Amino acid sequence: MARDYLSEYKSKLRTAEEAAALVQSEWVVNYGAFNIKSPAFDKALGARAGEPGLERVYVKTSNNLPPTPAVIANDPEQKTFQVGCWFLSALDRYWYDQMLLDFLPLNYHDTNLMSYWPDKTVAGRKGDLLAVQVGPMDKHGNFNFGIMSSDVKAKAYANRLVVVEVNENIPNVLGGLQNTLHISEIDYIIEGENPPLFCVDPTPPNENERKIAEQIMTHIHDGCCLQLGIGPLPNSIGDLICQSDLKDLGLHAEMFCTSMMNMHELGMVNNIKKETDKFKSVFSFALGSAELYEFIDNNPLLATYYIEYVNMPWRIAQNENVISVNNTLQVDLLTQANSESIGPKTISGAGGQLDWVNGAFDSKGGKSFLAFESTYVDKDGTLKSRIVPSLDLGTTVTVPRHTIHWVVTEYGMANLKGLSTWERVEEMVRLAHPKFRDELIKEAGKMGIWKKVNRKPL
């Protein structure tokens, strides 16, 4: 006898206020990241700020997109809610600066592992309630995560209660693994206002970013498997690929972006050379234009997976010729890369960067690139170098020197694997803006990592 999913759906329907009323003091509430945060649940829970007897509710989030979570905006004195975030968006950075948001450091693939195993969470604590947006229920009783598989399924099993808000605008993205929840795995359902998904249009690269992208392009050939990070520079790589005659490319990436859609539509991507998920482009979340969300809807050429599957370095390395491109903020003369903080002040997070540095290097023929402009202009209008003698006190080391592979600036690129400390200094000085090279050499001498006789022509 066929199961009556519609009746079961109706029995689990609740208003957002009814669902938010379940939350009690000292509960851990998990929100979905990016576009799958439940806006109706958040609004209802935030309305409880200051409620007598409700306190020390810990809300865990990531990559918040507008609007600001109500649990932050409605509780500026943090009498009811404390909010933690493991990767800061531009919106999150503002609230972090106001000390209304805590940072949770981790590697991206660890989010799945920490959800599954209680001994890998703080004090063995999992969570009490998960609230996420999902697509409409299909005829088999499944709700699709659409643009964000990541760690949602794992969190559903790590929390005592699961609340979903149905949004008809979420595309149905095929799997893959762990990209849906069945109605039997859900406790309560909210029918919200179906808000449109937040869109991010690609930012055009500047002249330096284009120079960097052109250098990286010389290492990309037919049959490469690509991962491109967030930001103008990785997007510029995608744009240059679209202008090339490359073919038989593969995609295995944590994020599916607009330039990847363009590669598909131009026939450059067919995934025929991949060892895993042959003929499928694999990703864990999508962020981009409205056209991108339309493209990934029910597209059989794509597959979305949970983040442990996508980002575990050993799985990345199963494909040959993996090319990974990510931004970084600073690299010091010891070749430690900081991609997430200014001194002790966090501005983003590690994300999956170290996962991809290790996974791409272990891939046969693979290369990971950390790319950055050699300089920036501070708030006072002063030109500053992103290549520094040593990282400031409190600065995060995102990629340790023993794992870093290729680094690229507008002045060149260098493979740092296997180089001594002396050779690394020479390469970093060569990649620096000419204005700062002599000072870097001087500081390297003070640090005992420079020999003048070893100097290469710059």
Residue 453: the pLDDT is 64
Q: What total of structural domains would you count in the chain? A: 2
Domain boundary among 191, 221, 238: 191
- Residue 334: pLDDT over 90: yes
Same-domain check for residues 158 and 228: no
Does any domain span residue 330? yes
What is the pTM (predicted TM-score) of this model? 0.93
Does any domain span residue 60? yes
**3-class DSSP string for the chain:** CCCCHHHHHHHCECCHHHHHCCCCCCCEEEECCECCECHHHHHHHHCCCCCCCCCCEEEEECCECCCCCHHHHCCCCCCCEEEEECCCCHHHHHHHHCCCCEECCCCCCHHHHHHHCHHHCHHHCCEEEEEEEECCECCCCEEECCCECECHHHHHHHEEEEEEEECCCCCCCCECCCCEEEHHHCCEEEECCCCCCCCCCCCCCCHHHHHHHHHHHCCCCCCCEEEECCCHHHHHHHHHHHCCCCCCEEEECCEECHHHHHHHHCCCECCCCCCCCCCCEEECEECCCHHHHHHHCCCCCEEECEHHHHHCHHHHCCCCCEEEEEECCEEECCCCEECCEECCEECCCCCCHHHHHHHHHHCCCCEEEEECCCEEECCCCCEEECEECCCCCCCCCCECCCCCCEEEECCEEEECCCCCHHHHHHHHHHHCCHHHHHHHHHHHHHHCCCCHHHCCCC
Same-domain check for residues 170 and 215: no
Domain boundary among 161, 191, 221: 191
Residue 455: the pLDDT is 64
Same-domain check for residues 174 and 223: no
Domain boundary among 191, 220, 241: 191
Q: So which residues are the catalytic ones? A: 254
Does any domain span residue 279? yes
Residue 235: the pLDDT is 80
Does any domain span residue 22? yes
Same-domain check for residues 172 and 214: no
Q: Identify the band that residue 123 occupies on the pLDDT scale cut at 50, 70 and 90.
A: very low
Range from 125-129, 154-158, 293-297, 407-411 carrying the lowest mean pLDDT: 125-129
Does any domain span residue 202? no
Does any domain span residue 303? yes
Average pLDDT (191-203) is 91
- Residue 454: pLDDT over 70: no
Does any domain span residue 196? no
Same-domain check for residues 353 and 427: yes
Residue 119: the pLDDT is 53
Same-domain check for residues 24 and 134: yes
Same-domain check for residues 320 and 269: yes
Provide the CATH number for the domain around residue 111.
Answer: 3.40.1080.10
Average pLDDT (310-337) is 97
Same-domain check for residues 165 and 302: no
Same-domain check for residues 184 and 222: no
Does any domain span residue 62? yes
Residue 109: the pLDDT is 84
Same-domain check for residues 20 and 160: yes
Residue 441's domain comprises 207-453
Average pLDDT (245-260) is 95
Same-domain check for residues 179 and 211: no
Q: Which residue has the higher pLDDT, 84 or 230?
A: 84
> Please, what is the average pLDDT of the chain?
93
Provide the CATH number for the domain around residue 391.
Answer: 3.40.1080.20
Average pLDDT (374-378) is 96
Same-domain check for residues 250 and 171: no
pLDDT tens digits, 64-77: 999 999 999 999 99
- Residue 323: pLDDT over 80: yes
- Residue 161: pLDDT over 80: yes
pLDDT tens digits, 78-113: 999 999 999 999 999 999 999 999 998 988 888 876
